[in-house]
Amino acid sequence: MTEYRMCTRCIMDTTDPEITFDENGMCNHCHTYDRLVREHIVDGEAGHKRLLKLVDSIERAGRGKKYDCIIGVSGGVDSTYVAYLVKQLGLRLLAVHLDNGWDSELAVKNIEETLKRLGIDLYTEVLDWEEFRDLQAAFLKASTPDSEIPTDHTIVAILGNIAAKLRIKYILIGNNVRTETHLPRAWSQGHFDWKYIRELHKRFGARPLKTFPHFDFFTYYLRMLTQKRIAILDYVNYSKKEALRVLQDELGWRYYGGKHYESIYTRFYQGYILPVKFGFDKRRCHLSSLVCSGEVTREQALEELRIPTYSPSMQEEDREYVAKKLGFTDEEFTAIMNASKKSYWNYPSYGQFMRQPVVKSLVPAVKKVMGWFK
């Protein structure tokens, strides 16, 4: 059994089975954070100039169209701040929201109120609940720590579909280096892998996926050539604390208690299923990024981990609600929680294909070709 260790800089530890440490005890996630900051973050006047150059490119690409760009909105901090920032930059944007049946009442109010105040058009994609319920249930039955993948995958698919339909080149996203870098691959992977999603559903699902928005291997790489996904928060001195203040003071936005807790299912999955079944506390990676960015101290992060992920009484309410909504009896849900743990690599996937020696040898050449089209 692996000896328990924690990074000397952040609070990532050996609950990530793939974590490594250098001679000073600093983990690979911190090294990745530093590298990504060097490669992607531009502060001060240089960052402002780069941002203005990007805005000019987006405006030119949007000439003759109703919108310059699209963004995805969940009601959370990062995506809402992107909406605020892009509006401040004078761009014409369309906000896109996925209704997968799990929005909290507060998330819906946040979206409606903030976009109304900003004067931003909203398009909401409503999934076929019976199809989506069956897919989510299949992921839980598969016993991997990847049950948020159906939502994450279809968000990317919907944004790409709408961008293609409206001939919009730029998709602005809330992902950013400063607050989302310490994400262990072993805790969830396969978000873009339609083969993996399809195989899990084939094994554990009960009804066909006729309308579920998705993209395959070739569509993904084609859209990498024809569409640009821009992590715009990397072009500004993004601070989670300052973003919270702006959203609350200027847009009437209200906090919901945790990262991605605007979704009832995500709140329960991250706050209950992952830590109880798999021993993964996603607060650890979120807080570690904030430690590296200087927003919280290591001691403050460790103190927050000593607090329950969220109210134990609400966890029990969510357990009953989620199990019932997904069609599980309490006994069936308990069996899922007690089932042997699996991973992405236990099922067929594009990842298995990409591991083949011949394919791996072609990757550098493919990346070079992709670079020519940027």
Q: Is the per-residue pLDDT at 225 higher than 70?
A: yes
- Are the CB atoms for 196 and 348 separated by under 8 Å? yes
Phi, psi of 98 (to 5 degrees): -100, 120
* Integer Cα distance of 86 and 64 in angstroms: 19
DSSP code per residue over 287-346: HHHHHHHTSS-HHHHHHHHTS-SS-HHHHHHHHHHHHHHTT--HHHHHHHHHSPP--GGG
Q: Would you place residue 138 in the very low, low, confident or very high pLDDT band (cuts 50, 70, 90)?
A: very high
Q: Is residue 7 part of a domain?
A: no
The mean per-residue pLDDT over the stretch 142-148 comes to 96
Residues in the chain: 374
Q: Is residue 185 part of a domain?
A: yes
pLDDT for the residue 149 = 96
Phi, psi of 44 (to 5 degrees): 65, -150
| Residue 188, token pair as written in the block | 């969830």
Q: Is residue 368 part of a domain?
A: no
Q: Is residue 251 part of a domain?
A: yes
Residue 231: in which H helix or E strand, if any?
Answer: strand 228-231
pLDDT for the residue 87 = 95
Name the least confident of 102-111, 135-144, 154-163: 102-111
Pick from 217, 229, 193, 184: nearest CA to 32? 184
Q: Is residue 367 part of a domain?
A: no
Residue numbers of the domain that contains 257: 44-346
Q: What is the mean pLDDT of the chain?
A: 92
pLDDT for the residue 76 = 87
Pick from 317, 320, 288: nearest CA to 304? 288
pLDDT tens track for 158-180: 999 999 999 999 999 999 999 88
- The H-assigned helical ranges of 227-275 are 240-251, 264-268
Distances from the Cα of 70 to the Cαs of 169, 229, 239, in angstroms?
A: 9, 10, 22
pLDDT for the residue 374 = 45
| Residue 64, token pair as written in the block | 């003759």
Residue 50: in which H helix or E strand, if any?
Answer: helix 44-61
The mean per-residue pLDDT over the stretch 173-201 comes to 93
pLDDT tens track for 252-261: 898 766 554 6
pTM, rounded to two decimals? 0.91
Q: Is residue 19 part of a domain?
A: no
pLDDT tens track for 299-313: 999 999 999 999 999
Domain tally for the chain? 1
Q: Is the per-residue pLDDT at 359 higher than 80?
A: no
DSSP code per residue over 67-132: -SEEEE--SSHHHHHHHHHHHHTT--EEEEEEE-S-B-HHHHHHHHHHHHHHT-EEEEEEP-HHHH
Find all residues with CB under 8 Å of 209, minimum gap 6, and list them: 131, 134, 135, 198, 201
The CATH number assigned to the domain holding 83 equals 3.40.50.620
Distances from the Cα of 203 to the Cαs of 96, 155, 200, 206, 363, in angstroms?
A: 31, 23, 5, 9, 30
pLDDT for the residue 364 = 61
pLDDT for the residue 368 = 53
